[in-house]
Structure 1
Amino acid sequence: MGITRTWNRADRNVCKYEGFACDYRPDFKRLSVAAADFNGYNFSGPDLQTKGLLDKLVDLAIFHANSNKFKGSVPDDIGVENIKYFYELDLSNNNYHGGFPTSVLAARQLTFLDISQQLPNNVGSTSALYLTFANNLFTGPIPNSIGRAKRLREVLLLGNNFSGCLPYEIGFLKTATVFDASCNKLTGPIPHSFACLTKIQILNLATNEFYGPVPEMVCKLPNLQNLSLSGNYFTQVGPECRKLIWMKRLDVRKNCIFDLPNQRTAQECREFFSKPRKCPNEKSLTIVPCSKNYGNAAAEFDQQSTVAAPPISYDALSPQNKPDTGVPSVAAINFNGYNFSGPDFQIQGFVDKLLDLSIFHANSNGFNGNVPNELDVQNINFLFELDLSNNKYTGGFPMSVLGATNLTFLDIRFNSFSGRSSKRSVQSRPGRAFP
Structure 2
Amino acid sequence: MNSRSFCLYIFTAFIFLRCLSSTEAATCHPDDEAGLLAFKAGITRDPSGILSTWKKGTACCSWSGVGCLTNRVTGLQITGDPDVAGSYLSGTISPSLAKLQHLEGFYFTNLRNITGPFPQFLYLLPKLNTVYITDTGLSGPLPANIGALSQLGQLGLNGNRFTGPIPSSISDLTRLFQLNLGNNLLTGTIPFGISKLNLLFSLNLGGNRLSGTIPDIFKSMTKLQSILLSRNGFSGNLPPSIASLRPNLLSIDLSQNKLSGTIPTFLSNFKILDKLDLSRNRFSGVVPTSLANMPKLFHLNLAYNFLTGPVPAVKNVEGIASLDLSYNKFNFKTIPEWATSSRSIYSLKLAKCGINMNFEEWKPVNPHIYFYIDLSENEISGSPVKFLSLARNLFEFQASRNKLRFDIGKLTNLSPRLETLDLSKNLVFGKVPTTLATLKKLNLSHNHLCGKLPATKFQARAFVGNDCLCGSPLPPCKA
Distance 2:264 2:178 in 1: 26
Tell me, what secondary structure is at the counterpart of 1:206?
coil
Tell me, what secondary structure is at the counterpart of 2:109?
coil
Asked whether the equivalents of residues 192 and 218 of structure 1 are also in contact (C-alpha less than 8 Å), the reply is no
Distance 2:146 2:105 in 1: 13
Corresponding residue number in structure 1 for 2:75:
35
Does 2:189 match 1:141?
yes
Q: 1:251 to 1:59 in 2, by over 3 A?
A: same
Which has the greater radius of gyration? 1
Tell me, what secondary structure is at the counterpart of 1:145?
helix
Corresponding residue number in structure 2 for 1:17:
63
Distance 1:257 1:244 in 2: 19
Distance 1:78 1:104 in 2: 12
Q: CA deviation at 1:239?
A: 2.5
Corresponding residue number in structure 1 for 2:126:
83
Q: How does 1:122-201 map to 2 (within 5 A)?
A: 122-126=169-173, 127-198=175-246, 199-201=248-250
- Which amino acid is 1:58 matched to? Q
Q: CA deviation at 1:222?
A: 3.6
Tell me, what secondary structure is at the counterpart of 2:227?
strand
Asked whether the equivalents of residues 82 and 107 of structure 1 are also in contact (C-alpha less than 8 Å), the reply is no
Tell me, what secondary structure is at the counterpart of 1:214?
coil
Structure 1 residue aligned with 2:143, among 101, 108, 114? 101
Corresponding residue number in structure 1 for 2:263:
214
Post-superposition Cα deviations, 1:297-336, rounded to whole Å, max 9, x if no partner, equal: xxxxxxxxxxxxxxxxxxxxxxxxxxxxxxxxxxxxxxx9
Tell me, what secondary structure is at the counterpart of 2:242?
helix
Q: 1:89 to 1:208 in 2, by over 3 A?
A: same
Distance 2:186 2:292 in 1: 34
Q: 1:31 to 1:102 in 2, by over 3 A?
A: farther
Distance 2:261 2:223 in 1: 27
Asked whether the equivalents of residues 81 and 103 of structure 1 are also in contact (C-alpha less than 8 Å), the reply is no
Asked whether the equivalents of residues 219 and 242 of structure 2 are also in contact (C-alpha less than 8 Å), the reply is yes
Tell me, what secondary structure is at the counterpart of 1:91?
strand
Corresponding residue number in structure 2 for 1:202:
251
- Which amino acid is 2:75 matched to? A
Distance 1:148 1:247 in 2: 29
Distance 1:106 1:123 in 2: 9
Corresponding residue number in structure 1 for 2:308:
258
Does 2:110 match 1:67?
yes
Identity %: 24
Q: CA deviation at 1:153?
A: 0.7
Distance 1:209 1:19 in 2: 43
Distance 2:216 2:143 in 1: 25
Figure out how many residues of one structure are paired with residues of the other and give that number: 256
More helix by share: 2
Post-superposition Cα deviations, 1:86-119, rounded to whole Å, max 9, x if no partner, equal: 2211112112122213544333441221124242
Tell me, what secondary structure is at the counterpart of 1:70?
strand
Q: Compute the RMSD of aligned alpha carbons.
A: 2.6
Post-superposition Cα deviations, 1:221-259, rounded to whole Å, max 9, x if no partner, equal: 243222111221111332323544996554322211122
Gaps spanning 5+ residues in structure 2: where? Answer: 1-47, 82-87, 312-324, 330-353, 356-479
- Which amino acid is 1:137 matched to? L
Asked whether the equivalents of residues 39 and 66 of structure 1 are also in contact (C-alpha less than 8 Å), the reply is yes
Distance 2:296 2:91 in 1: 52
Distance 1:246 1:148 in 2: 29
Q: CA deviation at 1:265?
A: 6.0
Corresponding residue number in structure 1 for 2:90:
44
Asked whether the equivalents of residues 171 and 197 of structure 1 are also in contact (C-alpha less than 8 Å), the reply is yes
TM-score by length of 2: 0.49
Corresponding residue number in structure 1 for 2:418:
none
Asked whether the equivalents of residues 245 and 251 of structure 1 are also in contact (C-alpha less than 8 Å), the reply is no
- Which amino acid is 1:120 matched to? P
Distance 1:33 1:101 in 2: 26
Q: 1:195 to 1:265 in 2, by over 3 A?
A: closer
Corresponding residue number in structure 1 for 2:351:
none
Q: CA deviation at 1:165?
A: 1.0
Post-superposition Cα deviations, 1:124-178, rounded to whole Å, max 9, x if no partner, equal: 2212211112222222222211111111111122222222210101332111101
Post-superposition Cα deviations, 1:173-229, rounded to whole Å, max 9, x if no partner, equal: 111101111222222110001011132111111121111011111331243222111
Distance 1:245 1:229 in 2: 18
Distance 1:253 1:130 in 2: 29
Tell me, what secondary structure is at the counterpart of 2:212?
strand
Asked whether the equivalents of residues 78 and 101 of structure 1 are also in contact (C-alpha less than 8 Å), the reply is no
